[in-house]
Amino acid sequence: MKWKKRALAALLAALCLLTACGEGGLGGDDGPVDTVEVSDAYFGMAWYQNGTLNPVLDSTSINRLLCEALYEGLFEVSGNFTAQNVLCASYTGDGTTFTFTLRDDVTFWSGEKLTAADVVASLQAAQYNEASPYHNRLVEAASIEALSGSEVRIVLSSPNINFPRLLDIPIYRQGSAESGDFADGTGPFQPVKDGNQWKLEANESWHGGFLGSIRHITLVPMTRADAAESSFRTGDVSLLREPRIAPDGASTIIGGSIDTVRTASADLHYLGVNYSNPYLANAKVRQALSAALGRQSLCDTQLQTFAAPAVLPVNPQPAADGLTLNMSADTETAARLLREGLEQAGGAGDTGQDDGETDTGEEDADGEAGGTDTGSGGASGGDAALSIRLLVNANNTFKVAAAEQIAASWKAVGVSVTVDRQPYETYVSMLQSGDFDVYYGGNAADAGF
């Protein structure tokens, strides 16, 4: 059984059983499920109605789960970030010119056979519409054309050997997005209207076989973006995808009898360094700050296991062979690099543990942040070898907690740190003016990352 088939069956089965069990609750099974009992229990999915559902042009977060149930791409990206064939049977490519051959056993819900013209129409819809969440993936495509009924050729304006990873763009039947409620898809479910109510039924002709788990999914119409969460709380919606560590700090925390399944995202948390600080402009000083960080511990504690440690800004992360990935803090190496870096930069001071007076941004009894604001930083922070100011968005409690732990890690190698918590508007203004030494940043990549 294909990975996607097993994963979707496991997820839907766990949530469906949870809905039926009431307050008792059941633990979810994250592993592959090959045999799933069919259930008639109620299962609701949010649906934001805004004309015909075109999976390529729809940019609402509410409908992403719905689109994943109804549509498929040429590929899907696996857990180790490789392109796995879905609608594509095989392909050839030299980094600039790619030729994709389609599977010959795929039909749409309507019974029409999947053709290269359908793929070209779907991809060009994303390419020519800047509002599409997939537009940026195809900006380097110089041409997209059908060579035959089952072959598609894409020529890029610049080489990208990993281009197939970007082609999990949903495919729909050419011309079907102009009328009706749903563009014609090839996914494991298909929409069926029962009176005035839309439901999803298993697609009996799906090339992946019988999905199992549930018979029907009731579509719950939404008119506002924030309605899905409230409907999930009341039980009308059975499945909700929300960021645990929300960019604005307003993370979704829902109690009661629910099952949580973690899914990977392209969101990145990182530390930005101001090179105008002469000490931070030194590579060894920056390497020292990096070596002092316990990335794994930070993810497990302050980010509550809803983050994975990384040493590169994009996935996949490098293999450990021959590399120091620095998932745990290496204080000995950090202290050595800090000492060498400060000597190169002209700094002075003891790189050992300070006397405990390092400010980590804790508030005093009057609610004011303690310690001395060092401005642009320096190497004369009392007994500390280096004094820096770490700017963080005060509106995001996760990031504030993480910044405090980062400050403690740097304190361990003799760095004095002021955690400068600022409201988001002030935080952005200070970033734009360069009024920081180091800042805790985040980037939520869109579908075109």
Domains and CATH numbers, the chain: 3-234 (3.40.190.10), 267-444 (3.10.105.10)
Output the six-digit token pair for 155. 């020529």
Q: Looking at residue 157, what is its pLDDT? A: 97
Cα–Cα dist 171/428, whole Å: 39
Residue pair 188/8 in contact (Cβ under 8 Å)? The answer is: yes
Q: Looking at residue 11, what is its pLDDT? A: 34
Q: Looking at residue 50, what is its pLDDT? A: 76
Give the pTM.
0.70
Residue pair 102/123 in contact (Cβ under 8 Å)? The answer is: no
Q: Which long-range contacts (CB under 8 A, 24 or more apart) does 61-69 make?
A: 61/225, 61/241, 62/222, 62/225, 62/228, 64/241, 65/239, 65/241, 66/219, 67/170, 68/187, 69/8, 69/45, 69/187, 69/188, 69/189, 69/200, 69/217
Q: What are the counts of helices (DSSP H) followed by strands (DSSP E) for the chain?
A: 9, 14
Q: Looking at residue 79, what is its pLDDT? A: 75
Q: Looking at residue 331, what is its pLDDT? A: 87
Q: What is the mean pLDDT of each run of 10 residues along the chain (449 residues)?
A: 37 29 34 56 87 86 90 90 94 97 96 97 97 94 98 98 95 90 94 92 87 82 79 83 60 60 75 93 93 86 77 71 65 91 68 38 35 41 74 92 94 94 96 96 69
DSSP H or E stretch at residue 268: strand 267-273
